[in-house]
Amino acid sequence: MYGLLVLGLLGLIGSTPFVLAAVAPASTDWGKLSDISQTYGAVSVVLSAIALAGVALSLLYQVRLTRTSNEQAIRESHLQLAALALSDPALLQAWSPPIAPVTLKRHQQHLITSLALGELLQRFRIGHLSIEKLAVKLDGHFRGEIAREQWEREGAGWRSTMGAGDRRDRVFVRLVNERYEVAVAAGPAAALHEFQDLHLPQGCS
């Protein structure tokens, strides 16, 4: 819509001298009009520059919107594959084999934490998370022992992949690694039993 408005404005600017020539009386002082037109020309240059800037901004917005839409579609496809793999151990081994020997349950848990990092990456890429907010999210993520295990096992792969990406990818993986190291230096991870209710009433399961 903005592009059409800008094109319309450019067309109006370009056609104005011809319209004036067609409707002007025969006795028109063209010398005086020439002086006026020079002033008009200077103004039209400024308006044209503004119009072109509007077109450029509109195109940049469309490119960003398309990129975000494509990334979201890829993310949804990835999540569908992950859900399918998690539903069947045989498919999980085929789609995402473990880097080193690990129990099936632990491998599933590592995949979930990897997907959680992927979600944070997507939100950071499209600007929904600032660096400060991402750091807070990562501090919470690395409280758990499974998240730390996953990064110990797969962090090198993430660093290699994200290092070949754009600036935001490199910032993301650098921050993930930084918050992981901070979490490890702060002390032991929260064990699984800390997330379980150990005081259920009699008869509950």
- DSSP SS3 for 87: coil
Q: According to the model, what pLDDT value does residue 114 have?
A: 92
Q: According to the model, what pLDDT value does residue 176 have?
A: 97
pTM of the model: 0.61
Through-space distance between the first and last CA atoms of the chain, rounded to whole angstroms: 59
Scored b (16 or more CB within 10 A) or e, 68-107 reads: eeeeeeebeeeeeebeebbeeeeebeeebebeeeeeeeeb
Q: According to the model, what pLDDT value does residue 37 have?
A: 61
Other Cβ atoms closer than 10 A to 195: 10
Give the start-to-end residue ranges of the domains of the chain: 2-22+34-70, 98-191
Contacts of residue 9, Cβ cutoff 8 Å, sequence gap at least 6: 47, 51
Q: Which amino acid is at 36?
A: I
Query: How do residues 146-169 score in pLDDT, each as one tens digit?
Result: 999 999 999 999 999 998 889 999
Give, in order, the Cα–Cα distances in Å from 19 to each of 5, 16, 102, 116, 128: 20, 5, 80, 62, 50
Helix 167-186 / helix 145-163 crossing angle, nearest 10 deg: 150
Q: What is the mean pLDDT of the chain?
A: 77
DSSP 70-83: HHHHHHHHHHHHHH
Report which listed range, 24-33, 69-78, 125-134, is most confident: 125-134
Banded pLDDT at 86 (limits 50, 70, 90): confident
Q: Which residues pair with 173 in a beta bridge?
A: none
Query: How do residues 12-46 score in pLDDT, each as one tens digit?
Result: 655 666 655 565 555 555 565 565 566 666 666 66
Q: According to the model, what pLDDT value does residue 92 have?
A: 78
Q: According to the model, what pLDDT value does residue 192 have?
A: 63
Residue bearing tokens 């020309």? 41
Q: Is the model's pLDDT at 198 over the cut of 50? A: no
Are the beta carbons of 179 and 139 closer than 8 angstroms? yes
Other Cβ atoms closer than 10 A to 150: 25
- DSSP SS3 for 103: coil
Query: How do residues 169-187 score in pLDDT, each as one tens digit?
Result: 999 999 999 999 999 999 9
Q: According to the model, what pLDDT value does residue 8 have?
A: 64
